[in-house]
Amino acid sequence: MTSGMKRGNALIGQPIERVEDLRFLRGRGTFVADVNREGQLHAVIYRSPVAHGLLRSVDAQAALNLPGVHAVITAQDFGADVPVIPLRLQPLPELVPFRQPMLAHDKVRYVGEPIAIIVADTAAIAEDALDLIDADIDALPPITDRAGAELGDVLLFDEHGSNSAIEWNAVRGDAEAAFASADYTRRETFKVQRHAALFMEPRGFVAEWNANEEKLTVWGVAKVAFANRTILADTMALSENQIDMVEVDVGGGFGSRGEFYPEDFLIPFAARHLNRPVKWIEDRREHLLAANHARELECDVEIAATKDGKIIGLRGQSWANIGAYVRTNGSIAPRNAAQFMSGAYAIENIQLTTTSITTNKTPTGTYRGPGRFEGDFVRERLIDLAAKDLGIDPVEMRRRNLVSSDQMPYPLATMTPFESVTELDSGDNHALFDQCLAEFDWSEKVKLQGKLIDGRYHGVSIGCFIEGGAAGPSENARIVLELDGSYTVYLGSAAVGQGIQTIMAQIAGDALEVPFDRVRVLHGSTSHVKSGFGSFHSRSTVMGGSAIVLTAEALKDKIRDAVAPTLGCTPTEVTLDGGNASGPSGGVVSIMEVIGEPIEAEAAFLNKKYTYAYGSVAAHVAVDPKTGQVDVLEIGSTKDVGRMINPLTLNGQSVGSIVQGLGGALLEHLVYDKEGQLLTGTLADYLLPTAGDFPNIHSTVVELKPSPLNPLGAKGAGEGEIIPIGGIIANAVAAALVDFNVEPLELPLSPPNVWRLIETAQKT
């Protein structure tokens, strides 16, 4: 499919300010905490205080006796079969034993695992009732790391017989032959710390059961409302048309929000169980304990190259600490770490394996750039290490290995056991690389490499990335031409902070050839379209936007069919112009006067191939050797997205992803002790980047190589620059501390960690 969309009003490509923002700035957003229903009750979750143990019993009588408490629900209330969270993505049979029950029974496997739900008149009463729950748990030895998991003397799932859930394999070419013929090899062990997507407000739900209509309504859904409706219907023995999932405003999703958690079932279950609306809002500590974690990965990887710096092979083993269970999308990051480790480079021979290890920690899931952030850290560090060993400029070594434009489409490694075959769709990595170097003023900044200036050592680095997007198989849209001549666009994609109302209105305006202010966009809720797939994997613009294009054409065909008899011509001879239609004889009619009622069309865009945005990011840091403090002086990125819908929102995505990447590279760390207790359970302990931390970030987005896979020519671009940040910051720190021979192999590069690297290097 080629990019051939008519530009019409040319709204696409314009830096239109987000129509969402005025409502938010005036305090008129509707978040789930703002939703209240008449007669609603409040829920809190009793969570396991120990990481691993046999759950003998739960005594809730004292809690039930507390005035204002309406119910304490435990696994026993579900009957013989406690429902489990199914696998949404890559539902392999090997992963079935590791699914999480909605409430713990028989065994608890991480601190924070739900054991009971208390429902009361107020949240305060329900919180008081927590202290009255008596759970009898026989503690078992906890497993918190790979070493403990591999011993095998303690198992999370006895029936499985191992703490290894699954092994992912990425293969391309013949790695064994490549390494046998290589002039140079280097093998290193890398570690990426556990951290997570902390969106602005915690999760929550309001659920209401209408017993007369046997209808369930749930507010607070996000990301994949239709998929979650399917799961909820199955676990509650309802049909999907008995459930309405209502999207509300959210302060970002980043992969974690909107997946199906135990609470997605528990709150609706409680509402139906009590026939009262039930509301649950988690606090921040609960969020840090209960929402998906991410990133924790250990890699033993080897690079092979010729003496002139051509990379001919990657091979190695990685271990992903996935926590206690495999939730809906828990297999994605370990898989991606292997399949996409080659990134934007033409590495012909690959043999990479990732083993998912279960431990007594919170389960993991996706977080912006899942697996790619981890894999890029490993690869970009290996390239710099190899360049140093071979005496080649690291910039030149990258240039020699980038996939060239004449190699497109370029196949990546094939993944098994869930076979995944994919290829870079289009691009010119070399052009973007050189543009980034020029815009960053590399030739001048590189002169500071390793220099001590005012007590800090300076370092610069550059890295390249690819961003897979537009996951299929489809997305749906419905457009209604209203009586007043405006258009209402209903979309299956969800809003997770990406400005979807503005972006989709631009696409619809051009596709319908009407002004921007005549388009209204409604999205995310299950009542809008017959089906939808939501917003994940940087898919909403490509998939949802393309669905709008197809739906607009279908609607215009319906309009032509309706007005053609009045104009005395065939539908193909009708010309549409705003609210009017004309025929070849010159006659003009008002569309709505002829039709007399709203007219609508619905269509789906189908696509099973990914788009790949790509680019380069450069960094300039200064390191204080006395404290280990790494100051980021400048970050510059250059990215090709095929076709820009809105440069303003796209730039916001780019800068935001860089800041999140810097948080992961320098600050954020979910730390557990040996007993499986989370030590960083508040925002005083879990450090996040703030507005003043990284002031000098700039991003350039270009339209160089449109994607051939959709009518917009667009590429998914919501994650992009976060992907290489760990690698380029580590390389910049290494360049700054070259005189100390410091080579960072682990994240985060927090002040104490960098200080220890310097101290260790000075002693050797």
Q: pLDDT digits over 419-453, tens only? A: 889 999 999 999 999 999 999 999 999 999 999 99
Q: State the alpha helices, DSSP H only, in 17-145.
A: 20-25, 61-65, 123-130
Cβ neighbors of 474 (< 8 A, separation 6 or more) are 533, 543, 547, 604, 605, 606, 607
Answer whether residue 1 shows pLDDT above 50.
no
Q: By the 8 A CB rule, do 583 and 594 touch?
A: no
* Model confidence at 6: pLDDT above 60: no
Structure tokens at 7: 């530009």
Cis ω before 49 (30° cut-off from 0): no
In the numeric block, the tokens 């009262």 are attached to: 276
Q: What's the gap between Cα 225 and its chain centre?
A: 15
Q: Which structure tokens are listed for 151?
A: 């011993």
Q: What is the pLDDT of residues 687-699, one digit of tens each?
A: 999 988 999 999 9
Q: What percentage of the chain has pLDDT greater than the value 90?
A: 93
Rounded mean pLDDT, 467-485:
93
How far, CA to CA in Å, does 234 sit from each of 83, 93, 213, 242, 494? 9, 19, 19, 11, 22
In the chain, CATH 3.30.365.10 covers 297-470+609-763, 472-606
> What pLDDT sits at residue 579?
86
Helix (H, G, I), strand (E, B) or coil at 239: coil
Cα dihedral angle (266, 267, 269, 271), rounded to 10 degrees?
A: 160
For residue 2, the model assigns a pLDDT of 39
| Residues 575 and 582: beta-carbon distance below 8 Å | yes
For residue 333, the Cα-to-chain-centroid distance in whole angstroms is: 10
C-alpha 635: how far from its chain's center?
22
Cα separation of 519 and 596, whole Å? 19
Closest CA to 285 of 203, 167, 369: 203
Tell me how far apart the alpha carbons of residues 599 and 486 are, in angstroms, rounded to a whole number.
Answer: 11
Label residue 497 by pLDDT band (50, 70, 90). confident
**Minimum mean pLDDT among 35-39, 295-299, 381-385, 483-487: which range?**
483-487
Tokens at residue 662, please?
A: 């810097």
- The amino acid at residue 5 is M
Q: What is the mean pLDDT of residues 576-603?
A: 93
The CATH class of 472-606 is alpha beta
3 state SS for 11-34: CCCCCCCCCHHHHHHCCCCCEHHH
Q: For residue 545, which of 446, 459, 476 has the smallest C-alpha distance?
A: 476
pLDDT at 143: 98
- If phi > 0 it is left, if psi is from -120 to 50 it is alpha, else beta; for residue 666 that is alpha
pLDDT tens digits for range 260-294 = 999 999 999 999 999 999 999 999 999 999 999 99
Q: What percentage of the chain reaches a pLDDT higher than 70? A: 99
CA angle 693/698/699 to nearest 5° reads: 130
Find out whether 6 and 507 touch, Cβ atoms under 8 Å: no
Bridge partners, residue 613, by sequence: 467
Task: Write out the residue limits of the CATH 3.90.1170.50 domain(s) in the chain.
Answer: 32-140+210-249+257-279
- What confidence tier does 7 reach under pLDDT thresholds 50, 70, 90? very low
**Which pLDDT value is given to residue 80?**
84
CB 259 within 8 A of CB 265: no
- Residue 4's pLDDT is 44
pLDDT tens-place string over residues 232-269: 999 999 999 999 999 999 989 999 999 999 999 999 99
Tens digit of each residue's pLDDT (9 = 90 or more) over 528-556: 998 888 888 899 999 999 999 999 999 99
**Residue 495 is encoded by which pair of tokens?**
């809003």
The region of weakest confidence among 402-406, 470-474, 672-676, 755-759 is: 470-474
Mean pLDDT (the chain, rounded): 95
Residue 625's contacts (CB-CB under 8 Å, 6 or more residues apart) are 456, 457, 737, 740, 758
End-to-end CA distance of the chain: 58
- Per-residue pLDDT at 722 exceeds 80: yes
111 by Cβ neighbours in 10 Å (0-12 / 13-18 / 19+) ranks as buried
Q: b or e along 45-84 (b: 16 or more beta carbons within 10 Å of the residue's beta carbon)?
A: bbbbebbbbebeebebeebeebeebbbbbbbeebeeebbb
- 212 Rama sector, left if φ>0, alpha if ψ -120 to 50, beta otherwise: alpha
C-beta atoms surrounding 140 within 10 Å: 18
- Of 93, 166, 141, nearest to 320 (Cα)? 166
Strand partners, 634: 620
Before 409, cis peptide (omega within 30)?
yes
> CATH says 297-470+609-763 is which class?
alpha beta
Whether omega for the bond prior to residue 711 falls within 30 degrees of 0, making it cis, is no
Region of 652 (left: φ > 0; alpha: ψ -120 to 50; beta: rest) is alpha
Tokens for 740? Answer: 């100390």
Strands (E), 495-541: 519-523
d(CA 302, CA 691): 38
Q: Please give the full DSSP string across 318-335, using - where no structure is assigned.
A: EEEEEES---TTTTHHHH
The CATH topology of domain 32-140+210-249+257-279 is Aldehyde Oxidoreductase; domain 3 (3.90.1170)
* pLDDT computed for residue 560 by the predictor: 96
Provide mean pLDDT across the span 333-343. Answer: 97
Which two tokens mark 528? 């809008």
Q: How many CB atoms neighbour CB 170 within 10 A?
A: 27
pLDDT at position 8 over 70: no
Asked whether residue 18 carries a pLDDT value surpassing 60, the answer given is: yes
Cα gap 16→718, rounded to integer Å? 18
CB 609 within 8 A of CB 615: no
Position 3 pLDDT exceeds 50: no
- Among 83-97, 126-140, 397-411, 524-538, the range scoring the smallest mean pLDDT is 524-538
Preceding peptide of 706 cis, ω within 30°? no
Cβ(517)–Cβ(621) under 8 Å? no
